[in-house]
């Protein structure tokens, strides 16, 4: 569980850093401008969507990966 939390926080921090660098250009004000907010929303949305697509692909591939691992383990144990 801690490993999963760590991985989530690493992804979240990386996403935050990427979107901040891409969208925030003026640090002279406490509040974001309207265009900065829209950019951040769009950037974060795209990254979250991409992450969901990657996770769906991973979940779809996982059974075949596990099946290969089990077959390899059984083959090596039979030797």
- Cα–Cα distance measured from residue 44 to residue 19, given in angstroms and rounded to the nearest whole number: 7
| In the predicted structure, residue 57 carries a pLDDT above the cut 80 | yes
Domain total of the chain:
1
Percent of the chain with pLDDT over 70: 100
Q: Which domain holds residue 13?
A: 1-78
Q: What is the CA radius of gyration of the chain?
A: 20
What's the CATH code of the domain at 21?
A: 1.10.287.810
Determine the pLDDT at residue 39.
97
CA 79 from chain centre, in angstroms, equals 40
- Cα–Cα distance measured from residue 45 to residue 41, given in angstroms and rounded to the nearest whole number: 6
Determine the pLDDT at residue 37.
96
Q: What is the dihedral of CA 34, 19, 7, 58, to 10 degrees?
A: 100
Q: Note the pTM of the prediction, 2 decimals.
A: 0.67
Least confidently predicted of 8-12, 54-58, 75-79 = 75-79
What is the residue-averaged pLDDT of the chain? 91
């Amino acid at each position: 569980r801690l490993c999963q939390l760590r991985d989530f926080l690493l992804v979240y921090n990386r996403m935050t850093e990427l979107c901040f660098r891409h969208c925030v250009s003026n640090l002279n004000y406490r509040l974001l401008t309207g265009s900065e907010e829209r950019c951040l929303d769009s950037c974060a949305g795209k990254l979250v969507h991409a992450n969901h697509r990657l996770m769906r692909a991973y979940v779809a591939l996982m059974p075949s990966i596990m099946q290969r691992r089990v077959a390899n383990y059984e083959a090596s144990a039979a030797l």
